[in-house]
A = this chain, B = another copy of it.
Amino acid sequence: MKHELDIETAASILKLLGDKTRLTMIKILSNHECCVCEFVALFQMTQPAVSQHLRKLKDSGLVKETRKGQWVFYSLNPSHPYHSFVCNVISDLPNQLSKLEELEARGERISCD
């Protein structure tokens, strides 16, 4: 059941992805969920700046949030009609696992298992 893509909607999604910070966020989220403070630690960026990028992604519906205690975790929303389009766009990008490994090494990785 393939979704019929619309070029105008696609453009608005590519515009969202056309920012280094958000594109990296999406690539990371395609492998792991992350909370805001992890992104703050990953990008050298203030917390409001990170929150504002996440809000844009959330407003588009590409990303969803789940509160787990004091943390808010973000993850890709696989039921978004353009989810597979986005996955295709980011498929060949280098994965950002090394960044998460740095976090882990610095003891800044949050996990709620």
Contact = CB atoms under 8 A, between A and B. Distances in A.
Interface residues of A, number: 28
Stoichiometry, copies per complex: 2
Interface string A75-101: 000000000010011011110100000
A41 to B, nearest CB: 18
A32 B5 CA distance: 21
A111 B94 CA distance: 41
A89 to B, nearest CB: 5
A27 B7 contact: yes
A19 to B, nearest CB: 6
B18 A94 contact: no
A16 interface: yes
